[in-house]
Amino acid sequence: MVDTMALLHPFSRTARPPRATPPLAAASPPADDEVLLDAPDDRLGPALVAAARGEHSPAATLLAGTRARADWENRDRYARRLAAFAHSRPEWLERWSATTPHDPDVRLLKAQLAVDQAWRSPARAELLREVSPLITAAARGDDRDPVPWRIALDHARGTNAGPKYFGELWEAALRRAPHHYGCHVAALRYLAASWQGSHRECFDFADRAAQDAPADSLIQALPARAALAYLTEARGVEVPRDRLDAAADRAIALSARFPVAAPWPAEIRNKLMYVLVRLERWQDALTEVHRIGPYATSFPWDRLSDDPLALFLGMRGDIRARATGPLDPSRHPRSEHDGRARSGDH
């Protein structure tokens, strides 16, 4: 088991007074051997199984359905996961592309895959410039679809595009889906201190977006995403504690709207759990542990350990101990990455 707490460098300022333990936190979470890492939901799972057999039809049906329903958040999520699968098992996508090369869903996956592959290379900027035609083709596939524009925003960040060009892409994305979470995350990353802006700018952007978005929009979790970046990469201007707590509170309210122990909200909840631990809000973190159920996600834990599942499980145990009593100081851990977050999440 990976030790956990010291690698997170708990936030040094006074933590918010603990709330009463929510009823949800009274039950025991799933056993360690029941926890799954990056588990697909019940729509994506069959498409991945079929792709492993070399069949593309279920993936085609899945993505076509997201276009028909204008289900852009799931479309973005599924495109990322299918492209990641195609990185190691490309045969099914190659067969699909050969059969229907102008299919908007094929174009989307090819653009996502190309950007992902270029991003992993030391020659990132040069390779990203070469894949621009694939992103253009994806954007022409369905003019309503914001997901190619999210890919374009990621691409622009990787090529060190200037603010004017990025702003043009951003406006095009907003015209298609003004509250699309993926595009907002791409913009937030562009603003991040490690790229073009500062953490304060990130919070300003995330707070404005959340204030303008519906209460059930994933954008309500955007300030917590800014908090996560600050807590893992903080340098420069300090962000006030109350602003970090407010970001966490927004994400907690959003998490409460989702079904408990469901795979797709786990992406938001795992990030929120990290932020709550850093803020030493143990009861709130314990509530998220129970809302997460058996669904761990690689991010953000893989930024701190080469074994994200083990780190998640260790952190889960530490949260329970902290929420019910003092943690033995001898258990404070050391990260194999010396507590420094990786920058590879694009």
Q: Write the CA distances from 111 to 80, 125, 202, 242, 317, integer angstroms.
A: 10, 15, 27, 40, 40
Q: What is the mean pLDDT of residues 193-218?
A: 87
pLDDT tens, position by position, 156-202: 999 999 999 999 999 999 999 999 999 999 999 998 845 555 788 89
pLDDT tens, position by position, 305-336: 999 999 999 999 999 999 987 655 444 333 44
Asked whether the predicted pLDDT for residue 241 surpasses 60, the reply is yes
Q: What pLDDT is attached to residue 195? A: 56
Choice between 2 and 187, residue whose per-residue pLDDT is larger: 187
Q: What pLDDT is attached to residue 3? A: 53
Q: Which percentage of the chain shows pLDDT scores above 90? A: 78
Which residues fall within 8 angstroms of residue 99, CB to CB, at 6 or more apart? 56
- Cα angle 8-181-36, degrees, rounded to a multiple of 5: 50
Q: What pLDDT is attached to residue 26? A: 56
Q: What is the mean pLDDT of residues 197-223?
A: 94
Q: What is the DSSP string of 169-184?
A: HHHHHHHH-TT-HHHH
AA identity, residue 20: A
Q: What is the mean pLDDT of residues 114-130?
A: 93
Q: What is the mean pLDDT of residues 275-282?
A: 97
Q: What pLDDT is attached to residue 198? A: 79
Asked whether the predicted pLDDT for residue 72 surpasses 90, the reply is yes
Q: What is the mean pLDDT of residues 283-311?
A: 97
10 prior amide bond cis, ω within 30: no
| H/E segment holding residue 35 | none
| H/E segment holding residue 36 | strand 36-37
Mean pLDDT estimate for the chain: 89
Question: Across the chain, which distance is largest between two alpha carbons, in Å?
Answer: 61
Here the tokens at position 266 are 């786990």
Lowest mean pLDDT among 7-21, 128-142, 179-193, 208-222: 7-21
Q: What pLDDT is attached to residue 208? A: 97
Q: Identify any residues that bridge with 126 across adjacent strands, giving them in sequence order.
A: none
Choice between 149 and 334, residue whose per-residue pLDDT is larger: 149
Q: What pLDDT is attached to residue 332? A: 39
Q: What pLDDT is attached to residue 19? A: 55
Here the tokens at position 96 are 């699909």
pLDDT tens, position by position, 130-144: 999 999 999 999 999
Q: Which of 46, 134, 56, 145 is nearest to 93 (CA)?
A: 56
Q: What is the mean pLDDT of residues 251-275?
A: 97
Residues making up the chain, counted from first to last: 346
pLDDT band at 274 (very low <50, low <70, confident <90, very high): very high
Angle between helices 308-324 and 266-278 (to 10 degrees): 50
Q: What is the mean pLDDT of residues 293-306?
A: 96
Q: What pLDDT is attached to residue 125? A: 87
Helices (H), the chain: 44-52, 57-68, 72-88, 91-99, 104-119, 124-130, 132-139, 147-158, 163-176, 181-191, 199-212, 222-233, 241-257, 266-278, 282-292, 298-301, 308-324
Q: What is the mean pLDDT of residues 292-313?
A: 97
Work out the number of other CB atoms within 10 angstroms of the CB of residue 109: 27
Q: What pLDDT is attached to residue 235? A: 65
Q: What is the mean pLDDT of residues 2-31?
A: 57
The Cα 326–Cα 250 span in angstroms is 27
Cα-Cα-Cα-Cα torsion 48, 158, 301, 251, nearest 10 degrees, comes to: -90
